[in-house]
Amino acid sequence: MITRCRLTLAALMVVALSSPPALAQHEHQAGVLSSEQVGTVDFRTSCAPAVKDDFNRAVALLHSFWFPEARQEFEAILQTDAACAMAHWGIALTHWGNPFGGLRSAQTIAAGQAAVQRAQATGSPSARERAYIDAVAGLFSSADPGTQRARVVAFERAMAQVAADNPDDVEATIFWGLAIAQTALPTDKTYAANRRAADLMEPLFAKMPGHPGLAHYIIHAYDVPALAPRALDAARRYASIAPAVPHALHMPSHTFTRVGYWRESVETNIKSADAAKRAGGVGEELHALDYQIYAYLQMAYDRQAKAVLERAMTAGGGPSSAAPSPGAPSGGANTFALAAIPARYALERRAWTDAMALEVRPAPTTPYTEAITHFARALGAARAGKPAAAAPDVARLAALRDRLVEMKDAYWAEQVDIQRRVAEAWVAYASGRTDEGLAALRAAADAEDATDKAAVTPGPLAPARELLGYMLLDAGRHADALAAFDSTITKEPNRFLALFGAGQAAEKAGDTARAAGYYRQLVEICRGADADRAELGHAAAFLK
């Protein structure tokens, strides 16, 4: 059990403000946090008995991806027991960060290598502990991004061996399960790695319902359209397992987004963003706000969505032309959210001229985040009937794709190229080249369906298959449009624009009963909506 820990004052405030009043008062007065705030972990080490509880807490934080706080705890452990090699192992993993976070920079690799070297040179770790350390060492064995997947696969095999050699070590199995999930390819539609990871962890979760890593990693293992409903139990329980941790409060929304439970997604992301803000975690706050605005927009809660947009821009330092505020983020999920949130606000509302006017935030280290804005601008221009105005943004998408190829970031290079292809298809269609536009957009939709979204985003800015439905609808091919919308709904249930498009397609095809079904579903999802959206008004009028 965890009975003692060290936290910053800001983190203590998170716990005090997110806990029931009586419990919060007790914990604050005692200056400690319990497993009720972070989850229950029992990780055996050869470190001094005095640091046992602190080590368990640090690993619990690691399991919930609260990396700065976990690193602080591991570093504090070394102040008590300088011979604790496994504390350096933990620090190395905090440098690796989110396993689903894309390519690691040279600076990240260097920091991890330093921690591994200290682990290898510290104390007298057991053979089991050396195996843990050696496994992590492989992750940091090269700074070449082109070898990252090979290193991740080797890490999975190494953790499989640690688990096999230590069958009583549940933590080894859990970290192995996470490593398996990390190897999943977005192009594998059998989801073999996802299923293997879940098969390892689900029986353990039944026995250890308070373990934060098990709930967390089950959600990640099932974070694909075909499997997402299987994660609902873990999603509904994770936030209560680690209520002090912003990422634990956010993570259920990965599942809620996949199954179209927008109200649940908003609720948990409000808690996550607020907890992150109190703890000074700008990146976590922005990540939660991105998922939050996505959910609000599907329910036509546009005033709340605009408030999220304004909060995100304030947290991120304002417009790109202004100096960033202290603590403003500079990369990864942070720049992603700062680009995605205003783009979503324009595109989901079909505010094409607003999309055209979006301000670009250059992102030299994450070209795919800059691509978000250029895609929205290009799509907005084409949909507004100004295809020539899209040319500079389409060209920039090609340049950003090429830069990602140079960086050996194959996944994001493909995603940006899909955005370029979608934009070019709409430019062709808006220019009167109907057949060319339809063929190009169908090919882009096929390419997008063959891969999957990254964990950093709740979904594509504008699903290519959904956009194909609207192009087909405009071209008068109503049956084909309905098929495209139905395909989108199957993959991404309860999307506002997919449901409305399906209703329109069915209505224009003369299938009034089917149209009424889509419109009724849309109106129900949007009950309490505050937006004056023409689509919602049309659906309500049709149902009268």
In whole angstroms, give the CA distance from residue 245 to residue 237: 14
pLDDT at 256: 98
Q: Is the distance from CB of 94 to CB of 71 less than 8 angstroms?
A: yes
Task: Map tokens 């439905």 to a residue.
Answer: 469
Name the pLDDT band for 10 (thresholds 50, 70, 90): very low
Tell which wins on pLDDT, 531 or 272.
272
Return the H-helix or E-strand segment holding 331: none
Tell which wins on pLDDT, 496 or 6.
496
In whole angstroms, give the CA distance from residue 56 to residue 90: 11
pLDDT at 531: 87
Identify residue 363 by its one-letter amino acid code.
A
Name the residue among 256, 262, 303, 255 with its Cα closest to residue 525: 262
Taking 90 as the threshold, does the pLDDT of residue 28 lie above it?
A: no
Tell which wins on pLDDT, 383 or 329.
383
Q: Is the distance from CB of 240 to CB of 210 less than 8 angstroms?
A: no
Question: In the predicted model, what is the mean pLDDT of residues 246-258?
Answer: 98
pLDDT at 2: 41
Interval 385-434: pLDDT, tens: 999 999 999 999 999 999 999 999 999 999 999 999 999 999 999 999 99
pLDDT at 333: 54
pLDDT at 145: 96
Question: In the predicted model, what is the mean pLDDT of residues 293-322?
Answer: 86
**What are the φ/ψ torsions at residue 24 (nearest 5 degrees)?**
-60, -40
Task: Map tokens 């939709």 to a residue.
Answer: 445
In whole angstroms, give the CA distance from residue 100 to residue 103: 9
Interval 82-107: pLDDT, tens: 999 999 999 999 999 999 999 999 99
Question: Helix, strand, coil % (nearest 5) of the chain?
Answer: 70, 0, 30
Question: In the predicted model, what is the mean pLDDT of residues 505-528?
Answer: 97
Mean pLDDT score of the chain, rounded to an integer?
91
SS3 537: helix
Taking 50 as the threshold, does the pLDDT of residue 27 lie above it?
A: no
SS3 459: coil
SS3 235: helix
pLDDT at 18: 35
Taking 80 as the threshold, does the pLDDT of residue 331 lie above it?
A: no
Taking 80 as the threshold, does the pLDDT of residue 24 lie above it?
A: no
In whole angstroms, give the CA distance from residue 474 to residue 258: 28
Interval 132-172: pLDDT, tens: 999 999 999 999 999 999 999 999 999 999 999 999 999 99
Question: In the predicted model, what is the mean pLDDT of residues 190-211?
Answer: 97
Give the alpha-carbon dihedral of 420, 425, 430, 432, to 10 degrees: 140
Q: Which pair of structure tokens corresponds to residue 189? A: 């539609």
Question: In the predicted model, what is the mean pLDDT of residues 483-510?
Answer: 98
In whole angstroms, give the CA distance from residue 323 to residue 321: 7
Identify residue 383 by its one-letter amino acid code.
R
In terms of Cβ atoms closer than 10 Å to its own Cβ (0-12, 13-18, 19+), residue 321 is exposed
In whole angstroms, give the CA distance from residue 80 to residue 232: 41
What are the DSSP E strand ranges found in 232-350? Answer: none
SS3 210: coil
Q: Is the distance from CB of 376 to CB of 350 less than 8 angstroms?
A: no
Tell me the angle at which helices 410-430 and 434-449 cross, rounded to the nearest 10 degrees.
160
In whole angstroms, give the CA distance from residue 244 to residue 37: 5
Interval 213-223: pLDDT, tens: 999 999 999 99
Please name the residue ranges forming H helices in 123-227. Answer: 127-139, 148-165, 170-182, 192-207, 212-221
Taking 60 as the threshold, does the pLDDT of residue 326 lie above it?
A: no
Identify residue 8 by its one-letter amino acid code.
T
Taking 90 as the threshold, does the pLDDT of residue 311 lie above it?
A: yes
pLDDT at 33: 57
pLDDT at 36: 80
Q: Which pair of structure tokens corresponds to residue 264? A: 């649940």
Taking 60 as the threshold, does the pLDDT of residue 21 lie above it?
A: no
Q: Is the distance from CB of 299 to CB of 347 less than 8 angstroms?
A: no
Name the pLDDT band for 334 (thresholds 50, 70, 90): confident
pLDDT at 317: 75
Q: Within 13 Å and on the Cβ side, how many CA atoms surround 94?
A: 23
Name the pLDDT band for 9 (thresholds 50, 70, 90): very low
In whole angstroms, give the CA distance from residue 224 to residue 457: 12
Q: Is the distance from CB of 220 to CB of 455 less than 8 angstroms?
A: yes
| Stretch among 68-77, 313-322, 345-354, 455-464 having the lowest mean pLDDT | 313-322
Return all residues near 415 (Cβ < 8 A) that are at least 6 apart.
Answer: 368, 371, 451, 454
Identify residue 15 by its one-letter amino acid code.
V
Q: Which pair of structure tokens corresponds to residue 151? A: 């290193």
